[in-house]
């Protein structure tokens, strides 16, 4: 059960970071923290179940996907920073009123 | 010809369609506008001619309609609103009047209004007026009559205000509209009462049920009809709009404010005569208002300087004669006088238009010796003036004799007053004639005779004024009565008085200075006459000013505070709610994400809480 509490805490901390931090890099890092929560749950679940190796391998797959996602996110971030010369989320309000 | 009679409603439709066509194509082809208007007027004339011819061929005492028909407009519950028309003797003669005068006026206007900026609008409105007037005349149901009645009022308003850029014309149009509105309320009340009492709006059915109605209802209806007629026909105390209506173009004055629309009050009286026949109070009202208008307006006309004002007051006075005849139970005499009056007053107005066009002034004191420069116009004026003064063998002599005779026999006092008014008619016409056409003409060389387009209508109406006196018998038979023979005693007395007073009027004004001196010699009475008994000022102070005051209070409190406050309040509420909601949509992704997270959390909480 401890793993569930840790996973919830990880998700909440990540969400807080996404909502509160203004820097896009920090937000991306927070998203990674949030992804860690389900991963942890999968691993904990695999340890408890018979034949949990399959579940744990899904976790491994997700870990790779998360790494790929982080790479794509960073690439986008670099492009955005080149165009608008900022990495702050509250300055990226092109669609709204300024 | 029967074909035309069965479709007499084309007299309503054709001028209205012509008006629409003028409005659409008039600006592209300006010379086409009067042609279309003339087509409308001539259609009226054709239907009228066919009707009158049929009358001569028919049984002399046939009162029933020659042709009729109608449409159901719409139905509410069990009550149908019907637009019925009927061409009977009365309508045929009235149509003849409308057709002749309208045709003459359209032709005259092509000369009078040449080069006017409102040319297209003018002819469209004249044509629309003709159609509306025909609807009023041919109406066989209260609904149709009321629609025609209001449409001619609207056309009158628009045509008085033809030169609306002049504030005086705009004011005059407003005054005419509002004053006749007072009378229209009477008519509306009468129609509503009659309809609810009889359960039908058709004239024939209403008249059938009339004997079974209680006498108070009948009196309310008849008084309402009388008030409506008084407003339309500019009778005291609703008379003050007609002199101001002279701000409109002179041909309009001839058509609307002399021959047809103002006479429709009298026409209404004859049309609904069965109602007046059984209501003595309403007849007394007609008699009193007619006599007061006849005498008062004739007195005022004796000192007016504006040639059109003289004719306007004369029209009020002559309409007063007709009202008095209605009040004296003589609808035949009233309608006969309506027909002859339309001929010679239409003629006089068109003549005055020719005079104004040729001399460039409306002021009798500025016109001098016009008979040398405008001999044909002078001839037309003399015919009209003699007819109006009641000199035989012109039209006015016969019809006025019939009116005077019937009123004298009904109420000698009223008859006596009418004799005086009749004598005054000769007096003011003699004065106006001498001031305008006689005396030494000034150094003005710009005075010129009018062109053929204006002289031709004068000739047409002049011949009508010459022979309309013969119409007495046919008109009487057309509305189901025997013609009354000429009464020699009445005729001779009226003629003698007219002769004496025209000499007096002639000697009153050899030149403008003498005219002014004469007015001064009358002292306060002269001032009262020149100011039309201060009636305008009285109405201004006692009715207009209080009404404006009340309106101001209503505007400040009712409109600006309550209505505007409500409207602005709702707008402000919407705006502040919108700006509160707008702060959620600034484009900041993190605000969106927070909202989403909060919503999901709420939903989760709700699921947990409610799912227990």
- Per-residue model confidence as pLDDT tens digits over A32-82: 999 999 999 988 888 888 877 888 888 889 899 999 999 999 998 888 888
pLDDT band at B177 (very low <50, low <70, confident <90, very high): very high
pLDDT value, residue A96 = 41
B327 lies in the same domain as B435: yes
Evaluate if residue B513 carries a pLDDT over 90: no
**Is B451 in the same domain as B568?**
no
Q: Rounded to whole angstroms, how far apart are CA atoms B305 and B532? A: 12
Q: What is the pLDDT of residue A95?
A: 43
The DSSP code sequence of chain A is -HHHHHHHHHHHHHHHHHHH--BHHHHHHHHHHHHHHHHHHHHHHHHHSTTTHHHHHHHHHHHHHHHHHHHHHHHHHHHHHHHHS--BGGG--TTS--
pLDDT band at B317 (very low <50, low <70, confident <90, very high): very high
Is B228 within the bounds of a domain? no
Among B183, B348, B169, B158, which Cα is nearest to B258's?
A: B348
Whether B1 shows a pLDDT value over 70: the answer reads no
Task: Quickly count: other Cβ atoms within 10 Å of residue A50's Cβ.
Answer: 5
Considering the domain boundaries, does residue B33 fall inside one? no
Both B519 and B555 in one domain: the answer is no
Domains and CATH numbers, chain A: 2-91 (1.10.287.3510)
Question: In this predicted structure, what is the pLDDT of residue B63?
Answer: 59
Residue B581: count other Cβ atoms within 10 Å of its Cβ: 9
Q: Is residue B346 scored above 70 in pLDDT?
A: yes
Q: Among A15, A22, A95, select the one facing B587 at the smallest CB separation.
A: A95
Which of these three, B502, B530, B558, is where a domain ends? B530
Q: What is the ipTM of this complex?
A: 0.78
Whether residue B377 is contained in a domain is answered as yes
Per-residue pLDDT tens digits for B571-612 = 999 999 998 888 777 777 888 888 899 999 999 999 999 887
Distance CA A87, CA A29 (A): 13
Encoding tokens for residue B21?
Answer: 């066509």
Contact yes or no for A97 and B586 at CB 8 A: yes
pTM for this model (two decimals)? 0.78
Band of the pLDDT at B100, cuts 50, 70, 90? very high
Are B96 and B48 within 8 A, CB to CB?
Answer: yes
Do residues B339 and B405 share a domain?
Answer: yes
Rounded to the nearest angstrom, the minimum Cα separation between B600 and chain A is: 12
d(CA B341, CA B258): 8
Q: How far apart are CA B148 and CA B99, in angstroms?
A: 16
- The average confidence (pLDDT) of chain B is 87
CB contacts, 8 Å: A97 with chain B:
582, 586-587
What is the count of structural domains for chain B?
Answer: 2
- Packing angle of the helix pair B89-112, B32-57 (nearest 10 deg): 160
Q: Tell me, what's the pLDDT at B447?
A: 77
* Interface residue A17 vs chain B (CB under 8 A): no
**Is the pLDDT reported for residue B323 higher than 70?**
yes
B470 lies in the same domain as B555: no
User: Which of A12, A21, A93, A98 is the best residue to mutate to test the B interface, defined by the most B CB atoms within 10 Å of its own CB?
Assistant: A93
Question: How confident is the model at residue B443, as a pLDDT?
Answer: 57
Contact A93 B586 (CB under 8 A): yes
- Would B163 be classed as within a structural domain? no
Q: Which two tokens stand for residue B466?
A: 């010459």
Q: Are residues B511 and B565 in the same domain?
A: no
| d(C-alpha B107, C-alpha B109), whole Å | 5
B477 — pLDDT class (breaks 50, 70, 90): confident
Q: Among B530, B555, B589, where does a domain finish?
A: B530
Mean pLDDT, to the nearest integer, of B362-385? 86
Residue numbers of the domain that contains B568: 542-610
Find how far residue B573's CA is from the centre of its chain. Answer: 51
User: What are φ and ψ of residue B74, in 5° steps?
Assistant: -155, 170
Are the Cβ atoms of B590 and A94 closer than 8 angstroms?
A: no
Across the interface, whether the CB atoms of A89 and B588 are under 8 A apart is answered yes
The answer to whether position B328 is within a domain reads yes
Residue B234 and residue B227: Cα distance in Å, rounded?
10
Mean pLDDT over B562-574 rounds to: 92
Q: Which of B508, B530, B552 is the last residue of a domain?
A: B530
Chain B residue closest in CA terms to A17:
B590
């Amino acid at each position: 059960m401890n793993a569930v509490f840790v996973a919830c805490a990880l998700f909440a901390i990540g969400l807080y970071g996404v909502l509160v931090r203004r820097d896009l890099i920090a937000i991306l890092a927070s998203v990674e923290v949030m992804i860690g929560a389900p991963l942890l749950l999968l691993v904990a679940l695999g340890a408890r179940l018979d034949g949990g190796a399959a579940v744990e391998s899904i976790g491994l797959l997700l870990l790779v996907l998360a790494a790929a996602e982080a790479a794509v996110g960073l690439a986008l971030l670099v492009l955005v920073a080149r165009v608008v010369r900022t990495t702050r989320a509250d300055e990226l309000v092109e669609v709204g009123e300024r | 010809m029967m074909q035309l009679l069965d479709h007499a409603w084309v007299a309503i439709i054709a001028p209205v369609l012509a008006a629409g066509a003028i409005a659409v194509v008039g600006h592209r082809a300006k010379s086409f506008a009067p042609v279309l208007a003339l087509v409308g007027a001539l259609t009226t004339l054709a239907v009228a001619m066919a009707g009158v011819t049929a009358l001569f061929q028919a049984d002399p005492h046939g009162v029933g309609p020659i042709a009729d028909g109608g449409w159901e407009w719409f139905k509410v519950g069990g009550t149908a609103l019907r637009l019925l028309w009927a061409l009977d003797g009365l309508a045929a003669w009235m149509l003849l009047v409308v057709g002749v005068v309208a045709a003459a006026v359209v032709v005259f206007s092509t000369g009078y209004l040449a080069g006017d900026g409102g040319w297209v609008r003018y002819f469209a409105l004249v044509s629309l007026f003709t159609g509306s007037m025909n609807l009023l005349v041919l109406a066989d149901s209260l609904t149709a009559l009321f629609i025609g009645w209001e449409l001619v009022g609207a056309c009158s308003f628009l045509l008085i205000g033809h030169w609306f850029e002049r504030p005086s014309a705009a004011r005059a149009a407003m005054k005419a509209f509002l004053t006749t509105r007072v009378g229209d309320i009477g008519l509306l009340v009468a129609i509503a009462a009659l309809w609810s009492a009889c359960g039908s709006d058709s004239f024939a059915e209403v008249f059938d049920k009339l004997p079974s109605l209680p006498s108070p209802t009948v009196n309310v209806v008849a008084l309402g009809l009388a008030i409506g007629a008084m407003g339309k026909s500019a009778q005291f105390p609703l008379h003050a709009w007609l002199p101001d209506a002279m701000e409109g173009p002179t041909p309009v004055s001839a058509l609307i404010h002399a021959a047809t629309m103002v006479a429709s009050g009298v026409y209404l009286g004859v049309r609904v005569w069965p109602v007046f026949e059984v209501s003595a109070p309403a007849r007394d009202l007609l008699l009193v208002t007619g006599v007061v208008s006849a005498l008062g307006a004739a007195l005022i006309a004796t000192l007016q300087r504006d040639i059109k004002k003289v004719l306007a007051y004369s029209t009020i006075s002559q309409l007063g004669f007709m009202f008095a005849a209605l009040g004296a139970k003589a609808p035949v005499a009233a309608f006969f006088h309506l027909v002859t009056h339309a001929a010679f007053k239409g003629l006089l107005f068109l003549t005055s238009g020719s005079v104004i066009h040729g001399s460039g002034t409306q002021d009798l004191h500025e016109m001098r010796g016009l008979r040398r420069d405008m001999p044909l116009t002078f001839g037309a004026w003399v015919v009209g003036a003699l007819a109006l003064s009641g000199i035989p063998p012109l039209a006015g002599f016969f019809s006025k004799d019939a009116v005077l005779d019937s009123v004298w026999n009904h109420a000698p006092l009223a008859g006596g007053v009418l004799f005086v008014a009749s004598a005054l008619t000769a007096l003011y016409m003699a004065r106006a004639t001498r001031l305008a056409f006689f005396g030494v003409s000034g150094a003005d060389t710009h005075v010129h005779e009018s062109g053929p387009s204006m002289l031709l209508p004068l000739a047409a109406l002049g011949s009508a004024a010459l022979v309309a006196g013969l119409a007495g018998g046919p008109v009487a038979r057309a509305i189901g009565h025997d013609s009354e023979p000429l009464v020699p005693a009445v005729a001779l007395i009226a003629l003698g008085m007219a002769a004496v007073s025209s000499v007096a009027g002639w000697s009153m004004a050899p030149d403008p200075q003498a005219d002014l001196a004469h007015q001064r010699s009358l002292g306060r009475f002269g001032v009262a006459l020149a100011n039309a008994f201060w009636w305008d000022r009285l109405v201004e102070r006692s009715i207009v000013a209080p009404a404006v005051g009340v309106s101001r209070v209503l505007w400040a409190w009712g409109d600006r505070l309550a209505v505007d406050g409500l409207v602005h309040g709702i707008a402000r509420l919407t705006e502040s709610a919108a700006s509160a909601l707008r702060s959620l949509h600034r484009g900041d992704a993190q605000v969106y994400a927070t909202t989403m997270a909060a919503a999901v959390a709420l939903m989760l909480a709700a699921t947990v809480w409610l799912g227990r």
